[in-house]
């Protein structure tokens, strides 16, 4: 049986880009796309960034953050605490040539650091594959009967996870 924790981890592996939402000046929210460098088994997310970027300054003031991921049939929302981490060994282990676009100095660029997103809560929706077929069936049934789709209790389609 698929547990929500396993399903979340499987879905996280499907994404390469996420939207990171932080608190900007005066409490405003700010979102930006981030390339996902790595996902740990416990759901910790790692992103590369420049140590002088606005997001690093924002997280130093308020570490609460939200990460969202979306495809046409899969969705994740993960909230928690984010912080900057200077981990040269991890940079060298994970380095990808395409990151040189943002870091012309390569993996030895001294401004290249990580943002570590320590998830506290996550929620996902998966309407792909067999789950999508089940969702469409339930949605059609709901449309005909004037009720809501009965998919909230199926961990293959929807789940909430405390990390």
Residue 66 lies in a domain: yes
Residue 31 lies in a domain: yes
Q: What is the pLDDT of residue 131?
A: 67
Query: pLDDT, tens digit, for every residue of 73-103?
Result: 999 999 999 999 999 999 999 999 999 999 9
d(CA 43, CA 36): 12
d(CA 105, CA 109): 5
Residue 82 lies in a domain: yes
Residue 146 lies in a domain: no
Residue 78 lies in a domain: yes
Tell me what the pLDDT averaged over the chain comes to. Answer: 91
Residue 137 lies in a domain: no
- pTM for this structure? 0.86
Q: What is the pLDDT of residue 130?
A: 67
Number of Cβ atoms within 10 Å of the Cβ of 65 = 23
Q: What is the pLDDT of residue 151?
A: 65
pLDDT under 50: residue ranges of the chain:
none
- CATH assignment of the domain containing 16: 2.30.110.10
d(CA 36, CA 76): 14
Domain of 17, in residue numbers? 4-126+156-162
Q: What is the pLDDT of residue 149?
A: 73
Residue 134 lies in a domain: no
Q: What is the pLDDT of residue 79?
A: 97
Residue 149 lies in a domain: no
The domain tally of the chain equals 1
């Amino acid at each position: 049986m698929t547990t929500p924790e396993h399903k979340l981890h499987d879905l996280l592996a499907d994404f390469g880009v996420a939207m990171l939402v932080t608190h900007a000046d005066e409490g405003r929210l700010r979102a930006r796309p981030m390339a996902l460098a790595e996902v740990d088994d416990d759901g910790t997310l790692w992103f590369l960034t420049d140590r002088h970027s606005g997001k690093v300054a924002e997280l130093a003031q308020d570490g609460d953050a939200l990460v969202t991921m979306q495809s046409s049939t899969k969705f994740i929302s993960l909230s928690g605490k984010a912080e900057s981490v200077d981990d040269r060994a991890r940079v060298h282990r994970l380095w990808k040539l395409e990151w040189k676009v943002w870091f012309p100095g390569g993996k030895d660029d001294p401004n290249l650091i990580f943002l570590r997103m320590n998830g506290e809560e996550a929620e996902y929706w998966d309407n792909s594959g067999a789950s999508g077929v089940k969702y469409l069936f339930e949605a059609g049934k709901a449309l005909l009967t004037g009720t809501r789709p009965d998919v909230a209790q199926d961990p293959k389609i929807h789940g909430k996870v405390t990390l």
